[in-house]
Amino acid sequence: MSGGRPPHFHAYSWVGPKPDFDRERDRRPESPGFAASELPPLQVAHWLRKPGRLVRAT
């Protein structure tokens, strides 16, 4: 830790069906269906590539 600050995390809990979560292709930004998929992206930063209508409960 630099500067004596605690680590900083961005994360979420998945409460949906595991088979949906395991569809990694739809969770990658290079996938054609990524923008339309309601699945969470593999990396939290990739939410910025999703349309605003998919961001809920924040």
Report how far apart, in Å, the C-alpha atoms of 40 and of each of 8, 35, 45 are: 20, 10, 11
- Residue 3 scores a pLDDT above 80: no
Phi then psi dihedrals of residue 48, to 5 deg: -65, -15
pTM of the model as a whole: 0.65
The tens digit of pLDDT for each residue in 13-54 reads 788 899 998 999 999 999 999 999 988 898 888 989 988 888
- Give me the pLDDT at residue 10, please: 67
Question: Tell me, what's the pLDDT at 15?
Answer: 87
Spatial CA neighbour of 41 closest among 28, 25, 23: 28
Which two tokens mark 13?
A: 């809990």
Split at pLDDT 50, 70, 90, the class of 11 is confident
Residue labelled with tokens 């500067």: 3
Residue 40 in contact with residue 14, Cβ under 8 Å? yes
